């Protein structure tokens, strides 16, 4: 994991199951939202703009 994301406060989605599988974690930074697979935190997370994240959350909440 890059040092730029190591210090972020990661949290799991409230929609994640209690079994701990199939989860994603997100962390908010000043200009981006970082997303990673909670089962493999050694893989590089990806980042999207805060605006794009907001659009995704609105879209997903309508489903």
The CA-CA-CA angle for residues 15, 16, 19, to 5°, reads: 145
Q: Tell me which of 33 and 23 has the higher pLDDT.
A: 33
Q: Tell me which of 59 and 14 has the higher pLDDT.
A: 59
42-51 pLDDT, tens digit each: 888 999 999 9
Q: Tell me which of 51 and 12 has the higher pLDDT.
A: 51
Please report which confidence band the pLDDT of residue 1 belongs to, taking 50, 70 and 90 as the band edges. very low
Stated pTM of the model: 0.76
Most confident range (mean pLDDT) of 13-17, 37-41, 51-55 is: 51-55
CB 33 within 8 A of CB 53: yes
């Amino acid at each position: 994991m890059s040092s730029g994301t190591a210090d972020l406060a990661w949290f799991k989605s409230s929609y994640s199951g209690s079994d701990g599988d199939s989860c994603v974690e997100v962390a908010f930074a000043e200009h981006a939202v970082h997303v990673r697979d909670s089962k493999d935190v050694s893989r590089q997370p990806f980042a999207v703009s805060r605006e794009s994240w907001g659009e995704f959350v609105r879209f997903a909440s309508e489903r």
